[in-house]
Amino acid sequence: MSSASTDFAIPDAAAPAFHLAPRETEPGRWAVRVEGRLSFDAGRALWQALLAVVPTPPPTALTFDLSGVEAVDGGSMALLVQTRWSLQATGVECAFAGATGTTARLLSLYGGDVSPAAEVAVAAPGFLAGVGARTLERLDEVRLLLDFVGRMVRALGGVLRHPGTANVRAIAPLLARTGADALPIVVLVTFLIGFVMGFQSAVQLEQFGADIYVADLVGLSITRELGPLMTAIIVSGRSGAAFAAELGTMSVSEEIDALRTLGIGPLRFLVFPRVLALVVALPLLTLFGDLMGLFGGLVVGVVNLDLSITAYLTQSLRALDVWDVFQGLIKAVVFGLSIGLIACAQGLATTGGAEGVGRRTTTAVVTSLFALILIDAAFTVTFHMAGL
Amino acid sequence: MSAPLVTVTELSLGWGETVLLEDASFEIERGEIFAVLGASGCGKSTLLRALTGLDPPRHGRVEIAGTGAPTLSVGRPSYGVMFQAGALFGSMTVGENVALALETWTDLPAAAIAAIVRARLRLVGLEGCAHLAPSALSGGMRKRAAIARALALEPPLIFLDEPSSGLDPVSAFELDLLIRTLSEGLGLTVVLVTHELPSIFAIVQRCVFLDRASRSILARGDPRVLRDTCPLPAVHHFFNRTSPGSSP
C-alpha cells in the first residue's frame, strides 16, 4: 500500500503542475483526488503517477475525483480515461466524479462516462498455421501466374485477330528501354564475369601447363550459362522491376480500369508489347554479353598468361561451335518471356496503394530470379541428356 | 415514355462475407442526370463498379439498353467512365489520352482524330492542353480531361465517380455546369456517385439513396424533394448535413 499512500506532485515552473491524492474512503474503496493543471506536455509524468496511484493489491472500487482539476487537455484526458478502462478490465469498479465545465465536456468527448468498446482480439497464428498460410500464399502466386499465362495466350489470339489492339507503337520505345539502355551495364558486368572466370581458372590451369584451356573454359561457360543468365538477372532487376512497378502504379491509380472501360484489354495493350520487347531484347543483349565475357577472358589470357591474341582466339573458336552460342540464345528467349510474364502478372495483381506496389515489385524480382535459375537448370539438364 | 437506358434488377453487392446491398432494383432513364447517394461505406462505388462491369455483382442483373449486361471484354465500349482521380494515363499527353479510344475503335484518319480530340477538349474547357502531360494539370483539369476521354467515342451514357470532390467551389460549380451542359446539349445520360450536396441539388434530377445498415435503397426520387419531405432520419441527416447527435 505504500505507493497508494504517496501524494504525487510535479512542481515544474515550466510545465503545468498536477497533484494526485489517494485516500481509502472505506475498506477496499479508494478515491483519488486529481488537482491542478493536467497537460499532455507532462503526459509521461501523469501516466506514471496514474499507474503508481493504484493501490496494490487492486481495490474493489476506485473513483477519480476531478473537482480539483483547473485545466485539462485532450491528451491528459485520454490517459485518465484509459486508466479507468484498464482498471475496469481487471475487475476494479472505476468511475469519475466531480467533473464540471470543460473537464466534463472533455470527459464525455473521450468516452470517460461509458464503457469501452470491446477490443477485437487478433490471435497471432501458431507456427504450423504460419507455415500453412505462407504455403498457401506461394501456391496462390503459382495460380496467379498460371492464370495469367492462360489469359495471355488468349490475348495473343486476340492480337493476331485484331492487330490494332496490340499497341505496337509501344514496342520500339520499350525495346530501347529494355535493350539499348541496358547495354552499358550488361557489357560491364559480363566483361567482369569473363575476366574473373579467366583469372580464377588461370591460377589452376597454369599449374598443369594448360594455360591455353582458359579460352575453352571461359568460352563455354560464358556462352552456355553465364552470358544468358547474368544478362537475364540484370534485365530482371532493371526492366522486370520497372514493369511491375509501372503496371502496379497504373493498377492502384485506376488506369487499368480506365483502359478496360475504353474497351482496350490491358494484356494486349500493356503486357504484349512489354513481353515482346524482352523476348527480342534479351537474346540481343546476351550476344553482346557473350562477346564481352569472351573479351574479359582474352584480357586475362593476354595480360596474365602471356598468350597471344591469335592463339587465344584460335583456341576459343576450336572449343566453341554455333550450338554453344545458340543454346544460350534459346535460354535468353525463354528468360525474356518469363521475366516479362512474371513482372506484368505481379504488376496487374497489385492492390493496396504504394505499399502494394513495393510488395509486388519485390515479389516480381524474387520470383523472376528463382524462375531464371530453375529454367537454366532445366535447360542444362535437358541439353545434357539430349547429348547436345 | 421510352424504355429506360439502364435497368438494375435485384442486384446484390459485396465481397467475402461483407454484403453491402441486397436485391436493389432501379431504372435510369435516357437523358437524365442520375445520382447514387449515401453515407461513406454504403457501397456507392461498388455499385458504380457493378454498373460499369468492372466487378460482377453477387446476384441480380444490370442491363444497358441495346448492349445487355455491361462487360469489359475487348471491343468498342458503349459507355464512358470518369474515375475519381481522373485515372489519365501518365505516359501519354492529354491529347493522346483522349485519342486512344478513337485510334483503337474507329478508322478515322489521324487528322480527323486530332480534330475530334481538339473539339472534345474545347467542350470541357481544356482547349490548348492537348500537348500537356496529365501531371501538369490541376485536379479539376484532370477530371475535365477524363470526361473528354470518356466522351471520345460519343457514348450515350457516362458514369462519373465523385466528379466534384476535392475541387474548390468555383471549379466544382464549373464542373456541375459542364455536366448539365453535356446532358442537355448532347442528350447524354449521366450517372454519378457523389457526396457534394451543392452539386446534387444543382444538377441531379433523380437519385437512389443507399443505406449500409439495411443494405438497401432507402429512398429514391428528386433529391430536392427528398431533402424537404423525406422523414427517414438517415436521408434527412444526409441532405441537411446534420447528425443524430447534433442540434437541428
Tell the burial category of A133 from Cβ atoms under 10 Å away from its Cβ (0-12, 13-18, 19+): exposed
Helices (H), strands (E): how many in chain B?
Answer: 8, 9
pLDDT for the residue B190: 95
Domain spans of chain A?
3-109, 129-385
Residue B8's identity, in one-letter code, is V
Q: B166 and B245: one domain?
A: yes
pLDDT for the residue A1: 38
| CATH (domain of B204) | 3.40.50.300
**Cβ(B134)–Cβ(B168) below 8 Å:** no
Q: B185 and B245: one domain?
A: yes
Q: B57 and B177: one domain?
A: yes
Residues from chain A contacting residue B150 (CB–CB below 8 Å) = 261
Q: How far apart are CA A362 and CA A138, in angstroms?
A: 14
Contact flag B84-A254 (C-beta cutoff 8 Å): yes
Q: B45 and B105: one domain?
A: no
Domain that holds residue B104: 87-154
Q: B99 and B74: one domain?
A: no
Residue of B nearest to A166 (CA): B104
How do residues A207-239 score in pLDDT, each as one tens digit?
888 888 999 999 999 999 999 999 999 999 999
How do residues A373-382 score in pLDDT, each as one tens digit?
999 999 999 9
User: Is any Cβ of chain A less than 8 angstroms from the Cβ of B83?
Assistant: yes
Looking at this predicted complex, what is its ipTM? 0.79
pLDDT for the residue B207: 95
User: Is any Cβ of chain A less than 8 angstroms from the Cβ of B238?
Assistant: no
φ and ψ at B95, to 5 degrees?
-60, -40
User: Is any Cβ of chain A less than 8 angstroms from the Cβ of B100?
Assistant: yes
Contact flag B85-A254 (C-beta cutoff 8 Å): yes
Q: Which residues in chain B (6-65) have CB-CB distances under 8 A to chain A?
A: 52, 54
Domain edge (last residue) among B139, B154, B169: B154
**Cβ(A328)–Cβ(A376) below 8 Å:** no
Q: B165 and B239: one domain?
A: yes
pLDDT for the residue B10: 93
Contact flag B54-A263 (C-beta cutoff 8 Å): no
**Cβ(B193)–Cβ(B36) below 8 Å:** yes
In sequence order, the β-bridge partners of residue B209 are B37, B219
Given its phi and psi angles, is residue B83 left (phi above 0), alpha (psi -120 to 50 degrees) or beta?
Answer: beta
How do residues A116-126 score in pLDDT, each as one tens digit?
666 566 677 78
Task: Classify A2 as helix, strand or coil.
Answer: coil
Q: How far apart are CA A148 and CA A346, in angstroms?
A: 10
Size of the A and B interface in Cβ pairs below 8 Å = 61
**Cβ(A381)–Cβ(A226) below 8 Å:** no
Q: B37 and B102: one domain?
A: no
Residue spans of chain A under pLDDT 50:
1-6, 10-14, 16
Given its phi and psi angles, is residue B106 left (phi above 0), alpha (psi -120 to 50 degrees) or beta?
Answer: beta
**Cβ(A365)–Cβ(A265) below 8 Å:** no
Q: B166 and B244: one domain?
A: yes
φ and ψ at A86, to 5 degrees?
-65, -40
Mutate to test the interface with B, among A151, A174, A255, A267 (most CBs of B within 10 A): A255
Cell numbers found for residue A83: 486508466
Domain edge (last residue) among B154, B174, B190: B154
pLDDT by 10-residue block (mean), chain B, 248 residues: 86 87 92 92 90 90 82 82 91 93 89 90 88 90 92 92 86 88 89 91 94 90 92 89 67
Domains: count for chain B:
2
pLDDT for the residue A44: 86
Q: How far apart are CA A171 and CA A335, in angstroms?
A: 18
- For CA atoms B49, B54, B60, B65, the dihedral sign is positive
Nearest to B74 among A253, A254, A268 (CB): A268
Q: In CATH terms, is domain A3-109 a member of 3.30.565.10?
A: no
Q: B242 and B190: one domain?
A: yes
pLDDT for the residue A368: 94
Q: How far apart are CA A256 and CA A262, in angstroms?
A: 10
